[in-house]
Structure 1
Amino acid sequence: MTTARTRREPSTTAAPSRASARREARAAWGFLAPSGLGFLAFTLGPIVASIVIAFFAWPVVGERSFTGLGNFITILTADPMFWRTVGNTLLFVVLYVPLNFVLALGLAIWISPRIRGRGLYRMLFFLPAVTPIVANALVWRLLVQPNGVFADIAGWFGIEGFNPLGTETGAMTVIVVMSLWQGFGYNMLVFSAGLDSIPEQLYEAASLDGAGAFRRFWNITLPMLSPSIFFATVMTLITAFQVFAQPYVLTGGGPGISTTTMVMYLYQRGFQLFDLGAASAVATILFAIIAVITAVQFIGQRKWVHYE
């Protein structure tokens, strides 16, 4: 009798456990449902719809027809403006991403735990990243226009006719500088958090072995910070390829089309020329470029990112 009663005990305790697990699962799905529905409705759904529209001649008003790869062939082979916008976007990425990393990492190292007022510096450096990008771009346009503050400062040094937005090189330089001011604070916080997680004992042991500041940085800081660097690289590249608000507000894509980026070109084809098929094709090409670059980063990170 004792043995039979003992054998029945697991079944009586297992039932409440399974019921509790089901309740927890239902609660989890309930909490995830709003976010999941939002992702389906506002992210995955539009992406799929854009890819589908890219295979059609899809005017805003008028008859729509299936064209297959026609939009892609036209854009890639018969539209020189598209390749100019690709070049402009790549130029921005090449200039912006390394400068962002150098500035963010340098300031993250500078506001080490030993500096006084560290929290204040973090807040001040991160503040531009949480302010609206359009508002920031409008302020910068007021600063760099011919009768703006920077022109007055240049006049103090005898520089007349200061108008960086009037030249191709100056316009791209202003966009890059404004983007750096807007975005470096986010990576700075990421790097700062990564630096805080590095054990101080590693630096002490390296110092005892005679390692100088550069060797400690190269052999300890960078390897231990590699997960943060990898995360920042992926996010910054994705953001840089989608640059839109800065050139749209600051230069309108000019002078000429020297600062027209891929997203600006997409906007023009879709919402000024009302050719949604071609605009979706440009968006699909940009999506493919970003996806390939991100995939290469994830594959390559196995060789240089250290998670322990």
Structure 2
Amino acid sequence: MTRTDTRVGPVEARPALGPAPRFWTSRRRDQLTGYLFIAPQLLGSVVFVILPLILVVWYSLHEWNVLAGTFDFVGTDNYRAIAEDPNLGAVLRATGLFSVGLVVLNLGLALLLAVLLNQRLRGTILFRTFFFSPVVVSLVAWTIVWGFLLQDNGGVNGLLDTMGVDGPNWLRGEGTAMLSVIVVQAFKNVGLNMVLFLAALQGVPANLYEAAEMDGASRMRQFGLITVPMISPTILLTSIITVVGSLQVFAQIAVLTQGGPGNSTTVLVYYLYQQAFQFHHFGYGATLSIVLFVIVLALTVLQWQMRKRWVFHES
């Protein structure tokens, strides 16, 4: 008779079932709060930046005639047209001349004013307000007023006439139109860069200048060896802002010169406007906007990379 082994092995203890973990933990609530805070900015970037960039690339591959109601795919024809455009060289030269002139005049004048206002002389607050007030004035209103002042019989020539000088027609002369536009734009925004430079100058430790004076350094050497390196991050910021702004100028050209005389003041943004909205070449206008985007991006990246060589406080 066979005997059956009825012994049972050790039974493994089962873990006690606790309460189910909550889904809305403190960490997830914090993450949701963060996403909700950045959602407006993210949505705005998608709707007003990323989506328009995608559409511009799409439009550049088509020829869109609004009057005829056609939207034809042309591939890279618009990009080939850029290389064959006889006016584009003059437009790029005018854009470069305006950008260089504005950056040099704006930053140089802003730094000079900031240094003068940093001397804590009497009436400093009044002068700060005077130089900053054009920043908050409407751009179109500012440009229209200067348009009247720079006419042949305007206020500028009237002032010169009292000194016995026969002033030119500033906005219609080949050599004076670009200069006039640069000066008008520089005076419009110089107050903003002045305030940024002034804040940077007031953050420079005074003991550095005291040590330099004890070593016999002149004011110019102090400025070159102490002031400029210490405010170099602000110089980088203002240069990027000013360069990008100079490449996007439109209202001043449209109000003051309309790109003339000839094409001497036809910058890239105004030329883009002409092609798209005056000549109804929307596909070619979109292609020009891509060229502008590439130029702005390249110059911004170049300035950002060059910061490692001359900007102080960089590791």
Please report the TM-score for the alignment, with normalisation by the length of structure 2. Answer: 0.88
1:289 Cα deviation from its structure 2 partner? 0.8
Per-residue CA deviation, residues 45-68 of structure 1 (Å, 9 max, x unaligned), is 212211221122222243222222
Who is 2:157 aligned against?
151
1:113 Cα deviation from its structure 2 partner? 5.5
1:160 Cα deviation from its structure 2 partner? 4.2
- Mark the structure with the bigger radius of gyration: 2
Contact 1:226-1:304 within 8 A present in 2 as well: yes
Who is 1:132 aligned against?
138
1:151 Cα deviation from its structure 2 partner? 2.4
| Secondary structure of 1:231's aligned partner | helix
Counterparts in 2 of 1:256 and 1:282: CA distance versus 1, 3 Å = same
Who is 1:71 aligned against?
78
Who is 2:269 aligned against?
263
Please report the TM-score for the alignment, with normalisation by the length of structure 1. Answer: 0.89
Counterparts in 2 of 1:88 and 1:118: CA distance versus 1, 3 Å = same
1:161 Cα deviation from its structure 2 partner? 6.5
Who is 2:211 aligned against?
205
Confirm whether residue 141 of structure 1 aligns to residue 150 of structure 2: no
Counterparts in 2 of 1:203 and 1:172: CA distance versus 1, 3 Å = same
Structure 2 CA distance for aligned equivalents of residues 72 and 178 of structure 1:
34
Who is 2:296 aligned against?
290
Counterparts in 2 of 1:234 and 1:161: CA distance versus 1, 3 Å = closer
What percent identity do the matched residue pairs reach?
38
Counterparts in 2 of 1:32 and 1:167: CA distance versus 1, 3 Å = same
Counterparts in 2 of 1:106 and 1:161: CA distance versus 1, 3 Å = closer
Unmatched 5+ residue regions in structure 2?
1-20
- Taking the TM superposition and a 5 Å limit, the aligned residue runs for 1:44-193 are 44-60=50-66, 61-77=68-84, 79-112=85-118, 114-160=120-166, 162-193=168-199
| Secondary structure of 2:245's aligned partner | helix
Structure 1 CA distance for aligned equivalents of residues 160 and 114 of structure 2:
31
Structure 2 CA distance for aligned equivalents of residues 202 and 215 of structure 1:
12
Structure 2 CA distance for aligned equivalents of residues 161 and 185 of structure 1:
28
More helix per residue: 1
1:241 Cα deviation from its structure 2 partner? 1.0
Q: Which letter maps to 1:305?
A: V
1:212 Cα deviation from its structure 2 partner? 1.1
Question: Which segment is superposed worse, 157-166 or 284-293?
Answer: 157-166
Q: Which letter maps to 1:294?
A: T
| Secondary structure of 1:80's aligned partner | coil
Structure 2 CA distance for aligned equivalents of residues 149 and 99 of structure 1:
22
Per-residue CA deviation, residues 149-178 of structure 1 (Å, 9 max, x unaligned), is 122222223344641112111111110110
Contact 1:88-1:258 within 8 A present in 2 as well: yes
Structure 1 CA distance for aligned equivalents of residues 299 and 46 of structure 2:
24
Unmatched 5+ residue regions in structure 1?
1-14
Q: Which letter maps to 1:65?
A: D
Who is 1:27 aligned against?
33
